[in-house]
Amino acid sequence: MIMPDIRLEYTAQSNIRKEAISLARPLLEVVALQGVRTRERVQRTGRGGSGRRFRPYSKSASKTRRKLGLQTAFKDFTRTGTFWDSMKAKLQSPTKATVVFTGRAAHGKKKTKKGKVVRVTNAALANIVLSKETESLFTITNAEIDAISTYLADRLTTEILTAQAIEESAFQLGRRVRSMKRRANKAVQALRG
C-alpha cells in the first residue's frame, strides 16, 4: 500500500533512536491516518466512533457561533481551526504512537500558579473536551479498526516486529537508567546540603 499524503506532522521523543523511528514509521503513519479520518468524521458529522453525536453546543456557544458564521447543527469542535491544526502523530516509545495536540488554543485563558494569565494549551483543551463528552474524540469505528489492521498487516513483518520489541526493551531500560541517575543526583545534592 502506498502512503497517502496525510498532511499531519510526525514527532518523536528525542531519546528514541533513529533506527527505532524508522522501524516505527508504519505506526506513525497509521496513527496519523486515523487522526485525519477522525478529524474529518467529527467535523463533517459531529459523531464519535460509536455513531452517536456529541453533546450539542450550549445556547450561548450556538449564538456566538452563528454570529461568527459557523455551523451550529452539531458539535464539530472547530471555531478557528487551531485545535485541529495542532494535532500531530507522536512516537512515545518504539512501539507506541499516539495523537497529541500541541501549542496554544486561539481562545481561552487561565491563570498560572504565579498569577500570570496565559492562553490555554490545545492539550488542555483536549482534556476539557474529553471530560465533558460522553465518549472520546478518538473512539474509532469498526470499519476504521479493519482499515488499520489491514494497513499494518501489509506493512509489519515478523522481522520488523522483532526489531521493534528489542528497541522497546532498550528504550525502557534507558528510561529506568535516566530515572535512577536523577534520583542519584538528588541524593548527592541532599547530602551536600
Q: What is the pTM of this model?
A: 0.78
Give the Cα-Cα-Cα angle 131, 135, 137 (nearest 5 degrees): 85
In-domain check, residue 2: no
The whole domain housing 150 covers: 10-192
**Residue 17 neighbours by CB under 8 Å, 6+ apart:** 94, 167, 170, 171
**Greater model confidence, 23 or 113:** 23
Mean of pLDDT over the chain: 87
**Residue 174 neighbours by CB under 8 Å, 6+ apart:** 15
Residue pair 8/35 in contact (Cβ under 8 Å)? The answer is yes
In-domain check, residue 75: yes
Which whole number is the average pLDDT over 154-183? 92
In-domain check, residue 1: no
5 has pLDDT over 60: no
In-domain check, residue 148: yes
Give pLDDT, residue 6: 54
In-domain check, residue 4: no
Give pLDDT, residue 130: 82
Which whole number is the average pLDDT over 107-134? 82
In-domain check, residue 78: yes
67 has pLDDT over 80: yes
Q: What one-character-per-residue DSSP string does 6-39 give?
A: ----EEE-TTS-HHHHHHTHHHHHHHHHHHHHHH
Cell readout for 111 is 491563570
Give pLDDT, residue 169: 94
User: In Å, what is the CA distance from 177 to each residue of 1, 163, 180?
Assistant: 39, 21, 5
Residue pair 151/112 in contact (Cβ under 8 Å)? The answer is no
At 1, the pLDDT band (50, 70, 90 cuts) reads very low
Task: Please state, as a whole number, how many other Cβ atoms lie within 10 Å of the Cβ of residue 162.
Answer: 11
